[in-house]
Structure 1
């Protein structure tokens, strides 16, 4: 199954109409008035997400930040992607959408169905919204790339492959060897 952009009834969706859909088992995102639907993630994707959250959470909470998996983040008018992980300041935990101004780091884990979306579209949205850090994890190569927002663009800050250490110093402090996040082989 591949990613789809839906224009149901050939119309543009507003944020309020999108939010009225409510919780669904599918991952539905709003991109400039179009609904973006992807299939559920693979087990390796979920393992990376869970283990990465486990590593980042103690450091985040020690300084008053929070790690979230798969939350709605408003990055602009009619733009609500669902990143795999987000580190935020204190937010209203009951709200359905988190504003980009509360996000300090976004992480996307590439999936075969959405690699281009994560590398291009979402990266652009996150940069436009001013999110300072973007972590991109590639399960096939087990490579992690940390980007820092410089002006209006992300620039590579650090990269690590299995057996190498990714040192994160902002917004949290963490050392990650991508090999530690992979399933046993």
Structure 2
């Protein structure tokens, strides 16, 4: 992959991006540019796994799916890889999940990548029409839940350790921040 990335001239097309195939790094496409990040830390992956486990039964009961680290096409040429998504019915053999199928998107804030999750991706997810955005702080598990209002998000709640997030949409679930931490 390294030779393909560094030997590339000009903006990346979606076809060129998808031709990279699976990589060790997380490679996202934003309007012709690749955004490459190293593999997540064990802490990050623990939070992601625990959150998926907490949402598994509620999503099944709602007829939905919870997935980790999948390509989400927000529009042609804009494909991030969120940490977790809740989707409606999808084709599990497609390379991308379409934004219109995503009910909730979640990012676990990495200290080295906080601005991307809090600003860039938040803007892109709202513009793509994804109704719910959940941000998780790695240090203490604090959960920030946002709901789309027009083309941006408004914070609905902040759930700190010792409190419980009561999700009512797109699924009914209770999430305790401290249960997400290693």
| TM bracket, shorter-chain basis | over 0.9
Note if 1:127 corresponds to 2:126.
Answer: yes
Deviations 1:16-37 (A, max 9, x none): 1100111111100001110100
Give runs of ≥4 in structure 1 deviating > 2 Å: 6-10
Query: Alignment RMSD, CA only?
Result: 1.2
Which consecutive residues of structure 2, in runs of 5 or more, have no partner in the other structure? none
**Separation in 1, partners of 2:6, 2:62:** 42
Partner residue, 1:42? 41
TM-score normalized by structure 1? 0.93
Deviations 1:112-148 (A, max 9, x none): 2211100010011100000000000011232100000
Question: Counterpart of 1:106 in 2: which secondary structure?
Answer: strand
**Separation in 2, partners of 1:172, 1:64:** 9
Partner residue, 2:14? 15
Aligned length: 178
TM-score normalized by structure 2? 0.94
Partner residue, 2:87? 88
Note if 1:54 corresponds to 2:53.
Answer: yes
**Separation in 1, partners of 2:17, 2:95:** 11
Partner residue, 1:157? 156
**Separation in 1, partners of 2:145, 2:57:** 19
Deviations 1:16-59 (A, max 9, x none): 11001111111000011101000111111101100000000101
Which consecutive residues of structure 1, in runs of 5 or more, have no partner in the other structure? 1-5
Partner residue, 1:3? none
